[in-house]
Each structure stands twice: as C-alpha cells, then as structure tokens.
Amino acid sequence: MIEAFIKGIAYNIEGLKIGIKNPKLLLLGILRFLILIAFTIILASVILTYHEKIVTSIWIKPKSIWIVWIWHFLSWILIMFLIGASTVVSYIFSQILFSVIIMEQMSKITEKLIRNRVEEPNVPFFKKTLYLIQQEIPRTFLPISFSFGILILGWLTPAGPVITLLSTFLSAIFLSWDNTDLVPARRLLPFKKRFLFLLKNLPFHIGFGILLLIPVINCILFSFAPIGATKYYLEIEGRQS
C-alpha cells in the first residue's frame, strides 16, 4: 500500500519531466492551464463588477452608519464565497468543454511516445468526442458531489478533523482518476469497469493526487498530470495482456 502511494507521487513528477522535454506536451499543458485561469478570471470579474447589486438583491444597504459596516463586511464574505464558487464552476466548464480534448491529446501523445502507436476503436471523430464529453460529466460531478457531501457532514458532526482528512483523500483520489481514466475512456470501456479500476488502485491514486492539492505546486502538476497517469495505466494494461 505504501509502495503504491509512493509510486503515485513518482509518476506524477515523472509526467511533469516528460511534459517539459516534449514540445507538444509542453504547449498543451500550458494551454490547459491558461484556459482554466481565463475562465476563473472572467467569472470572478463579473462577480466583482456586479457585487453590490448581488448583495443589495439579498439585503438592501442600511442607512444607519452603525449597521452599514456589518453590511459591507457580510457583502465581502459573500463575494469571497462566490469567487470560490466561480473557481469550481470554471473548473467544471473548462474541464467539460476544453480540458477533456486537451487531456485526450496529451494522453495520445504520451501513448505514442511509449508504444509508438495509439490504440483506439475505429469510431467517427464527432461520435467519439461526444462520448468523451459525456464520460467527463460523471467524472467531474462525482468528486464535487462527494466533497460537498463530506463538507456538510463535517459541519453537522463533531468528527470535523476526521471528516477533513477523509475529504482530502477523496479529493486526491478523484483528481487522479480524472487522469488515469483517459486511456480506458478512449478504449470506450464501460463506466463501471473504469470505476472498478479506480477502487482496485486507491493507494496509487491517493499518492498521485496528493501533490495536486498542494498550493502553487498543483498549478504546474495539474496541467501535466495526464502524462504520468497515462504512463501508469499503459504499464498496468501491459501486465494484464
């Protein structure tokens, strides 16, 4: 279990090294990062532009100088919450609309580097792209649903520290799966089979994803995670064949 956890960390870092050395992977990794940042900035800018209207629609600004400071304080708390929510929404939109395509290309390039070919069913491009986007929806919303569920559970129970630790592990697992699932999704394997692969390799996914939760570092590793994850899955697949 510990060995698999350490292997997850190693594959994440190795993916970054491969990405930096390969011009195509480097370009796609930077592009993925910029798209996420662009979505976040756009949504956050809209919220900041209309923040007073948003707050006023909830609570009309009081005239009393003794109460108005509370209004300003609560308004900015609300804005910070909305900006945080905009980051999540930006991730969802960028992931479903753009990142799934970028990640798929990064995974293909990695497979070609390792095996000198890309194995995939002979399916029309648009049909396959639609399928990949459909697969991205449960793979994106499932982690968010679990995270919010655990967060609410932490508020309602005294086991806050344990819940927080569990939430961290789940976030790491699902962030990893978002990348290790690229190859089996491209092979058009059923969702149930791919989810079972995740369950059988939880320690690896925790190790791989734990680095994606570290501020600043995760901004870099997140963009190149498909490379190391693809390499790992191909090795598992090779041993099973």
Instruction: Fill in the DSSP letter of residue 50.
Output: T
Question: For the chain, how many residues are written?
Answer: 241
Predicted pLDDT of residue 139: 66
Question: Would 240 be classed as within a structural domain?
Answer: no
Helices (H), 50-124: 51-58, 65-94, 100-115
Position 241 in a domain = no
Residue 148 contacts by C-beta under 8 Å, 6 or more apart in sequence? none
Per-residue pLDDT of 108-135, as tens digits, reads: 999 999 998 888 777 777 777 777 667 6
Structural domain containing residue 41: 2-235
pTM above 0.85, yes or no: no
* Any domain includes 31: yes
Compute the radius of gyration of the chain from its Cα atoms. Answer: 21
What average pLDDT does range 53-80 have in this prediction?
Answer: 71
The residue type of 119 is: E
pLDDT at 68 over 80: no
Q: Which residues contact 127 (CB under 8 A, 6 or more apart)?
A: none
- 92 within domain boundaries: yes
Longest CA pairwise span in the chain (Å): 74
**H/E segment holding residue 184:** helix 182-186
Give the CA count within 13 Å in the CB-facing half-sphere of 198: 25
Residue 239 contacts residue 192 (beta carbons within 8 Å): no
Q: How many domains does the chain have?
A: 1
- pLDDT band, very low/low/confident/very high, at 36 (cuts 50, 70, 90): confident
The per-residue pLDDT for range 218-227, each reduced to its tens digit, is 778 888 999 9
Whether 124 is in a domain gets the answer: yes
CB 25 within 8 A of CB 18: yes
- Tokens describing residue 51: 């923040």
- Decide if 104 is inside a domain: yes
User: Token pair for residue 196?
Assistant: 């079972």
| CA 113, chain centre distance (Å) | 24
pLDDT digit string, tens, across residues 172-196: 888 888 889 889 988 888 888 888 9
Q: Looking at the domain assignment, is residue 72 inside a domain?
A: yes
- Domain-embedded: residue 66: yes
Dihedral over alpha carbons 180, 183, 189, 194 (to 10 degrees): -10
